[in-house]
């Protein structure tokens, strides 16, 4: 009997042993998750809650469209990092004249500051909801803790921490979805059928800026190099390009699901009850009578996880862009990377202290990102389409036209937004 059982166990292990290629793929899952954090951050929470509470399921299509654009752009910029060994900022410094590269990169640092402001504010709001810590004190604590984690932790440790946080955020919204009476046929229609309700353009552009974020394009081209791939080996480059696409697709899919869940929850709870949401803290308080105490607690904890993880990656992006503007790679222990982190967090704290309405500040910060986004897209398009930069891995005509179309559409939406704001 014992021998039969042993044979059964041995057969079971052989049958369920992962293939070598599957194990190889798992080693390269991670950089995309760090990028995903950037578009499930508190700024996204503000934009998504405003979209769901104000317009129900009608703006879900923007999450779908933005995520498709995001996959194309992130996949493309990751190729730049793999093929050249330079991040987007380093490549701009290396291949563009200073009078052009510096303004572009400094505007990207400003975008990282706007991003960090949203992340720090969200984390401070979560600390206030959970521990009644004053917003200003929570903002300072968020910036200090994030700086110390970046400055004194290894990349692998940061990656594991953020993967854990993303998993917890996903579980939190899965729990929320179980509780709410969602109208799934309306949600499916919202995902697939574009609609632009009256007065929704600011929210639409906020959702766009919250999903397709300039600092994430810089960050992805940097962190994709964390696996220390052998750039001189043609077969290795091709294999890693393939693995990168799987990592990006999986990670962006997770982000799409979490962003969609935010809008669905807001539509099912707030829009269905005709309750206006003007603040993230108010959203948590309103969940108590509409759902239950546990739902409000889970909401606050998920916001805390989103805040700290995205604050870390925003600082990493700011440090990477600043160091790249000097022709250097990201290094959390290097003076220039740390200077970029200080600029990012210091500028973000200043905006936090001056801002009044926290939800509006979060929404408008995401809108500001959408205004900077075309500059980053066209910079990326120029570099990844150049044979001088990318060699035989330069963009194909189809890729070039697809990215050009995305850039032009986003530019057109920004023009529409500015006309709407100042008319």
Please give the pLDDT value at position 202.
77
Please give the pLDDT value at position 59.
94
> Phi and psi dihedrals of 134, rounded to 5?
-55, 145
Q: What is the DSSP string of 237-249?
A: HHHHHHHHHHHHH
Under DSSP, the state recorded for 180 is: S
Residue pair 329/90 in contact (Cβ under 8 Å)? The answer is: yes
- Quote the CA–CA distance of 166 and 174 in Å, as a whole number: 12
332 within some domain: yes
- Quote the CA–CA distance of 138 and 347 in Å, as a whole number: 16
- Quote the CA–CA distance of 220 and 242 in Å, as a whole number: 15
> How many other C-beta atoms can be found within 10 angstroms of the C-beta atom of residue 308?
23
Q: What is the DSSP string of 94-155?
A: HHS-HHHHHHHHHHHHHHHHHHHHHHHHHHHHHHHHHH---HHHHHHHHHHHHHHHHHHS-H
Q: Where are the beta strands (DSSP E) in 331-406?
A: none
Nearest in space to 343 (alpha carbons), one of 321, 310, 324 = 321
22 within some domain: no
- Quote the CA–CA distance of 279 and 358 in Å, as a whole number: 7
CA 294 to chain centre: 27
The interaxial angle of helices 293-324 and 214-223, nearest 10 deg, is 70
| Six-digit token string for 279 | 């603040």
| Six-digit token string for 245 | 């696409």
- Quote the CA–CA distance of 143 and 161 in Å, as a whole number: 17
289 within some domain: yes
Please give the pLDDT value at position 9.
46
Number of compact structural domains in the chain: 1
Please give the pLDDT value at position 180.
87
154 within some domain: yes
The torsion angle over the Cα atoms of residues 232, 235, 238 and 244, rounded to 10 degrees, is -80
28 within some domain: no
> Phi and psi dihedrals of 330, rounded to 5?
-65, 135
43 within some domain: no
Please give the pLDDT value at position 380.
97
- Quote the CA–CA distance of 42 and 39 in Å, as a whole number: 9
The stretches of 180-279 forming alpha helices (DSSP H) are 184-192, 201-211, 214-223, 234-266
Alpha-carbon distances, residue 98 vs 93, 95, 221, 374 (angstroms)? 7, 9, 21, 19
pLDDT by position in tens, the chain (length 423): 445 445 544 544 444 455 555 555 555 566 778 888 877 888 778 788 889 999 999 999 999 998 999 999 999 999 999 888 899 999 999 999 999 999 999 999 999 998 898 889 889 888 988 898 998 899 999 999 999 999 888 888 888 888 888 889 989 988 888 888 899 999 999 999 998 888 887 788 777 766 788 888 999 999 887 655 545 567 777 777 778 888 899 999 999 999 999 999 999 988 988 887 767 777 777 677 667 778 888 888 998 999 899 999 999 999 999 999 999 999 888 999 999 999 999 999 988 888 765 556 666 676 677 778 899 999 999 999 999 999 999 999 999 999 999 999 888 877 877 777 676
What is the span of the domain harbouring residue 324?
A: 48-422
Q: Is 243 exposed, middle or buried (0-12, 13-18, 19+ CB in 10 A)?
A: buried
Please give the pLDDT value at position 351.
84
Q: What's the CATH number where 336 sits?
A: 1.20.1740.10
* Residues contacting residue 233 through CB under 8 Å, at least 6 positions apart: none
24 within some domain: no
What is the number of alpha carbons within 13 Å of residue 251 lying toward its C-beta? Answer: 31
- Quote the CA–CA distance of 247 and 132 in Å, as a whole number: 38
Residue pair 381/400 in contact (Cβ under 8 Å)? The answer is: yes
| Six-digit token string for 226 | 């964390």
105 within some domain: yes
Q: What is the DSSP string of 45-96?
A: HHHHHHHHHHHTTTTHHHHHHHHHHHHHHHHHHHHHHHHHS--HHHHHHHHS
């Amino acid at each position: 009997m014992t021998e039969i059982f042993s044979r059964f166990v041995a057969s079971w292990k052989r049958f369920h042993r992962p293939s070598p290629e599957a194990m190889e793929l798992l080693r390269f899952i991670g950089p995309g998750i760090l990028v995903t954090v950037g578009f499930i951050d508190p700024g996204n929470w503000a934009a998504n809650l405003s979209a769901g509470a104000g317009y129900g399921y009608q703006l879900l299509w923007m999450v779908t469209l933005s995520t498709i654009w995001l996959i194309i752009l992130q996949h493309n910029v990751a190729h730049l990092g793999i093929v050249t060994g330079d991040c987007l900022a380093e490549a701009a410094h290396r291949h563009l004249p200073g009078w052009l590269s510096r303004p572009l990169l400094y505007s990207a640092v400003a975008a990282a500051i706007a991003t960090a402001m949203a992340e720090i504010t969200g984390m401070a709001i979560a600390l206030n909801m959970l521990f009644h810590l004053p917003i200003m004190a929570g903002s300072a604590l968020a910036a200090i803790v994030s700086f110390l984690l970046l400055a004194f932790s290894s990349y692998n440790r940061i990656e594991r921490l953020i993967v854990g946080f993303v998993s917890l955020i996903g579980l939190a919204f899965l729990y929320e979805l179980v509780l709410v009476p969602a109208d799934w046929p309306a949600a499916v229609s919202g995902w697939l059928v574009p609609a632009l309700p009256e007065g929704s353009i600011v929210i639409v552009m906020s959702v766009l800026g919250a999903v397709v974020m300039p600092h994430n394009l810089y960050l992805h081209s940097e962190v994709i190099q964390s696996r220390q791939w052998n750039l001189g080996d043609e077969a290795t480059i091709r294999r890693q390009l393939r693995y990168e696409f799987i990592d990006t697709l999986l990670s962006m899919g997770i982000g799409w699901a979490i962003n969609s869940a935010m809008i669905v929850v807001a539509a099912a709870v707030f829009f269905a009850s005709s309750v206006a949401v003007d603040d993230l803290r108010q959203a948590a308080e309103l969940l108590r009578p509409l759902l239950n105490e546990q739902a409000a607690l889970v909401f606050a904890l998920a916001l805390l996880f989103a805040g700290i993880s995205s604050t870390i990656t925003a600082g990493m992006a700011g440090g990477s862009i600043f160091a790249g503007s000097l022709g250097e790679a990201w290094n959390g222990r290097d003076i220039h990377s740390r200077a970029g982190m200080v600029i990012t967090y210091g500028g973000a704290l200043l905006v936090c202290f001056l801002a009044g309405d926290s939800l509006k500040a979060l929404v408008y910060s995401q809108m500001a990102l959408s205004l900077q986004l075309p500059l980053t897209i066209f910079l990326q398009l120029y570099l990844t389409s150049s044979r001088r930069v990318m060699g035989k891995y330069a963009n194909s005509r189809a890729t070039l036209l697809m990215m050009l179309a995305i850039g032009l559409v986003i530019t057109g939406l920004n023009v529409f937004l500015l006309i709407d704001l100042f008319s």
